[in-house]
Amino acid sequence: MNILKVSKHKHKFNRRRALECTLVEKSKSNPGYLKYMVTIGEKDGTVHKQPAYGKDMQGALSRLINVELTVKVERRLENNTGLIFLLWLIVMGTPAVFADTGSPWFLAYVFGSVIMLLCIVVGWYNYVNKGEV
């Protein structure tokens, strides 16, 4: 088995890489989940460690990628409040456009779409943060 050791020399890559992943401990709050410490090599050659949680190493690495993607989207949305307002109008208005406006059911479709969107957001948040101590 070939294990890559992290040296003190900087290596430049064309993309980020997981250089090393070690098991730290079992999660105290969520049985079956494990805490891993991932050593990441950045594009510019710097190396840093970051914790990741999952049922196995592959799950922990995919969860770490999803967390980083979520943070990137959150940063973009924080700086662009007009986009949030536009998305909110689309979510609220789309069901009303396609529903029959003569009946009160279009209100149920509007509120149902908002509740569905909130359920998706809460589910994603729970998935990303599952297993953290």
Q: Over its length of 133 residues, how does the chain's per-residue pLDDT go in tens digits?
A: 445 555 555 566 678 888 888 999 987 888 888 899 999 888 888 888 999 888 999 988 888 888 888 888 888 878 888 887 888 788 777 776 776 667 777 777 778 878 888 888 888 888 777 766 5
Domain membership of residue 101 (yes or no) is: yes
Domain membership of residue 124 (yes or no) is: yes
Domain membership of residue 8 (yes or no) is: no
Domain membership of residue 95 (yes or no) is: yes
Beta-carbon neighbour count of residue 108 at 10 Å? 12
pLDDT of residue 10: 57
Domain that holds residue 119: 17-129
pLDDT of residue 5: 53
Q: 3-state class of 76 per DSSP?
A: helix
pLDDT of residue 2: 46
Domain tally, the chain: 1
Q: Which long-range contacts (CB under 8 A, 24 or more apart) does 71-76 make?
A: none
Q: Which structure tokens are listed for 43? A: 């594009």
Domain membership of residue 62 (yes or no) is: yes
Domain membership of residue 3 (yes or no) is: no
Domain membership of residue 1 (yes or no) is: no
Domain membership of residue 48 (yes or no) is: yes
